[in-house]
Amino acid sequence: MNNSGVQRVVPIVLVLIVIIVAVAALVSVGRSLFGGSEEPVVNNGKEALLNTSLDRSVRMTVRGPIVGDNLFHSYTITATPTTRNLTTYQGYLQSQLETSDLANNSKAYEQFVYALDRADMMEGTELEGDADDMRGVCATGRLYRYEVLQGSNVVKSLWTTTCRDAKGSLKATNQELLRLFRTQIPDVAKVTSKVRL
């Protein structure tokens, strides 16, 4: 039996194995050093939405068509772990017309924000610069803005409109979110009908 052929092949195979291991190790080290490893994307808005601390709140703002100051109306519905509020406004300087304050509790708030999460309230990427400028957007329709707040600071804000050419940053179904917010206030239809919204 001729062992000289085997003796020549064994070193070549060993060198190839060492080269393959070295290349794999270099690729692994390169990924860890230069950020090649995939990290999960965190939705800060979703985390903030599901946080039920006493300093948290959610708010929906509905703005009507762009008309003369005395004819312009908007309203907000805000919920916190302790309160629910509906306020209607007239004019662009937001002169308060009517407000309704109701009690809330942490369990009710928790159910509400989890329902908002299931309706994808924080799905979307906030726009920047001119793309996020809502002035004059959807002049003949309505604009809807959904916000998660910590104290008086907005953590994340997404918006959409009823106009086809101005979809905004919200990816969720607006009608579902609108319904969820409006059902937080018992007389919402009566109060908002006064401002035709």
Phi, psi of 73 (to 5 degrees): -135, 155
Task: Calculate mean pLDDT across residues 105-127.
Answer: 96
120-167 tens-digit pLDDT: 999 999 999 988 999 999 999 999 999 999 999 999 999 999 999 999
Model confidence at 188, pLDDT cuts 50, 70, 90, reads very high
pLDDT-derived band at 11, boundaries 50, 70, 90: confident
Measure the CA–CA gap between 34 and 107, rounded to whole angstroms.
45
Q: Please, where are the H alpha helices in the chain?
A: 4-33, 44-50, 106-118, 174-182, 188-193
Report whether pLDDT(193) > 80.
yes
Confidence grade of residue 38 (pLDDT, cut at 50, 70, 90): low
Mean pLDDT of the chain: 90
Q: Tell me the C-alpha distance between 87 and 188, whole Å.
A: 10
pLDDT tops 90 at residue 14 = no
Give the CA dihedral 162, 102, 95, 169, nearest 10 degrees.
-30
Mean pLDDT value of segment 70-90: 97
In this prediction, residue 3 carries a pLDDT of 64
Range in 25-34, 36-45, 114-123, 165-174 the model is least confident about = 36-45
Q: Does residue 107 have a pLDDT over 90?
A: yes
Looking at the DSSP bridge assignments, the partners of residue 154 are 149
How many Cα atoms occupy the beta-carbon half-sphere of 73 within 13 Å? 13
Rounded to whole angstroms, the Cα distance separating 58 from 154 reads 9
pTM of the model: 0.78
Which amino acid is it at 24? Answer: A
Class of domain 44-193: alpha beta
61: amino acid identity, one letter: T
pLDDT, average across residues 158-183: 96
Which amino acid is located at 150 in the chain? Q
Per-residue confidence (pLDDT) for residue 12, from 0 to 100: 79
Residue that wins the pLDDT comparison between 24 and 63: 63
The reported pLDDT for the residue numbered 119 is 97
pLDDT at 15 over 90: no
